[in-house]
Chains A and B, each alone.
Chain A
Amino acid sequence: MSILLRNVNYTYGKGSSEEKQALKNINLEIHKNEFTAIVGHTGSGKSTLIQLLNGLEKADSGEILFHGKNIYDKDFSMKMLRSKVGLVFQYPEHQLFEATVVKDVAFGPNNMEWEPLKAELSTFGALKDVGIGEELFDVSPLALSGGQKRRVAIAGVLAVEPEILVLDEPMAGLDPAGRKEIFDLLKKLHSERKITIIMVSHSMEDVAEYASRVIVMNQGEVVLDGEPRKVFRYEKELKQIGLGVPQATSLMHCLAAQGAGVKEDCLTVQESVSEILKWLKRV
């Protein structure tokens, strides 16, 4: 177990006329080396939830345990938590500010008050991880392409060597090539570096392909939680809260409803194709 949330509540704009309960009684356990996707409609509380995980926002009630220790205890180090739980915001490239790529990535390690050698090593290690070559090290981050900028921004978070990487829609606004770059990066970090990944996403296709667990949020509550294959069975319920399932899954649901004897829980086009072929051979 790495993060445990117990009865967490969070209310926005307390005491003002726009008071809104963003999170209601959340109970969650994020395990080591999971690849979790959080999905939900705009305003369902996803962004608030991920900001609670590294202590940027504080829950009104309930507790959050990181490796069994309550993060709201007085002697708990928030700095440690923020280095262990790396948070990548939406459009992270908007937060680049240094004159060169290397300096920007080194911002995090320098804040951690590590030995200079360790800070340098992790900086270059992170740049290598995200596939930014040496020729770009001394370039201004603002001169890079969209996908490159985003990878540099992610490197800035990776450089503090987090155990858990939380990303808010890491693919938003990128072209297909850029999306693939980021996804391959996440996959590599997950499988090779054994980093636990939590990702907010709007694309059910991406979720189906990459995540090992899906958490569905609606109006501040967790409504579904499980493997994608299980969660995407609830197409009707998901549609009711403004979400959907991967198109391939939806197709299989349709075929089955028409009386075709196919398995319904296919996630990708590939799977659906072979399942349909199998069924056609049978009839």
Chain B
Amino acid sequence: MIRNITIGQYYVADSVIHRLDPRVKVTGTLLYIVSLFLFHNFWGYVVAVGCFFAVMVLSKVPFSYIVRGLKPIFFMLVFTAVLNLFWTPGTVFFRFGAIQLTWEGLRKSVFMAFRLIFLVLGSSLMTLTTTPNQLTDALEKLLRPLRHLHVPVHEIAMMMSIALRFIPILVEETDRIMKAQMARGADFESGSVLQRLRNMLPILVPLFVSAIRRANDLALAMDARCYHGGDGRTKMHPLRYQGRDFAAYFICIAYCVLLYSAVTYLPML
């Protein structure tokens, strides 16, 4: 029923991209996303798209899998495309009553859609090849300098990994509570919006009670094992850069150089 919700959709495979240090993947993805917004040139897109597909092939994640990530932003995509298409002033090439299309609008909406699509595809590729735990590890390490600004980096990372850990448990719990209330004749599918919201109460109250109970238990268990925050804490799987990670950083720089030269030296299209 509720089980088909996927959060943190890691795709299990053995590939170079999967084995990369998560810090490289986070940095690389950020770089890629920023780069998408820095040019308005056809050749730039050729480089960006080509690079994406190269990494995708290396990662062994099927394209159909990555494309699923686009589903939630589909409406936003259509909305921005339409908005850009109709409301950009410029040379008109089509007119029908009040509606007019311009070349500039067409170009802008295609480029904007392209950016959004590859923004999502690029970050999906990262989350598909990196487990949520690796991701939090990487963030903790990358954000470490912020400690000097009194940002509780370790605590934030710990909270993130605990939250991620509890998602499947709470999903299962919700499923069970829902079924139990349905066994007592509860109906979650019919009625007005207000009625349906009210009907959620028999699920939400037990869910919160159990979440708080679990949080209490977990805190106690952590205490019992002498958890005292991040200072001086070692890791079971410490992140260490290897040859391939440096190679990957180098490829990222190469990508930037290639993109820059493609945008600057090739004829504007």
Contacts and interface: CB of A to CB of B under 8 A. Distances in A.
Interface of A: 13, 51, 54, 56, 79, 82-83, 86-87, 89, 92, 94-98, 107-108, 111-112, 142, 156-157, 160
B180 A92 contact: yes
B9 to A, nearest CB: 12
A79 B179 contact: no
B34 interface: no
Interface string B142-183: 000000000000000000000000000000010011011111
Given A94-B210, A97-B201, A107-B202, A83 B185 contact: yes
B194 to A, nearest CB: 17
Contacts of A13: 3
B206 interface: yes
A83 B185 CA distance: 7
B198 to A, nearest CB: 12
Contacts of A160: 184-185
Contacts of A56: 179, 182-183
A111 B206 contact: no
A95 B206 contact: yes
Given A95-B177, A96-B206, A87 B201 contact: no
B185 A89 contact: no
Contacts of B173: 94
Contacts of B185: 79, 82-83, 108, 111-112, 160
B269 interface: no
Contacts of B201: 97
Contacts of A95: 177, 180-181, 202, 206
SS class, residues of chain A in contact with chain B: helix
Contacts of B182: 56, 82
Contact of A111 (B180, B184, B209): B184
A111 B181 CA distance: 10
Nearest to A104: B202
B180 to A, nearest CB: 4
A89 B183 contact: yes
A106 B263 CA distance: 70
The number of chain B residues touching the other chain, given as a range, is 20 to 34
Nearest to A107: B184
A89 B202 contact: no
A82 B184 CA distance: 7
Contact of B206 (A51, A79, A97): A97
Interface in B28-73: none
B184 A157 contact: yes
B183 A107 contact: no
Contact of A87 (B177, B183, B186, B204): B183
A156 B206 CA distance: 15
Contacts of B183: 54, 56, 82, 86-87, 89, 157
Interface string B193-216: 000000001101110011000000
B187 interface: yes
B243 to A, nearest CB: 32
Interface in B61-88: none
Contacts of B177: 94-95
22 contacts: A13-B3, A54-B183, A56-B179, A56-B182, A79-B187, A82-B183, A87-B183, A89-B179, A92-B180, A94-B209, A94-B210, A95-B181, A95-B202, A96-B206, A97-B202, A97-B204, A107-B184, A108-B184, A157-B183, A157-B184, A160-B184, A160-B185
Q: Which 10 A-B pairs have the closest CB atoms?
A: A111-B185, A97-B205, A108-B184, A87-B183, A95-B180, A89-B180, A97-B202, A56-B179, A97-B206, A95-B206
Given A79-B187, A107-B181, A156-B184, 7 more contacts: A56-B183, A82-B185, A95-B206, A96-B206, A97-B209, A98-B205, A111-B187
Nearest to B182: A56
A89 B185 CA distance: 14
Interface in B192-250: 201-202, 204-206, 209-210
A89 B176 contact: yes
A83 B186 CA distance: 11
A98 B3 CA distance: 26
A56 B206 CA distance: 19
B184 A142 contact: no
A111 B185 CA distance: 5
A107 B198 CA distance: 13
Contacts of B209: 94, 97, 142
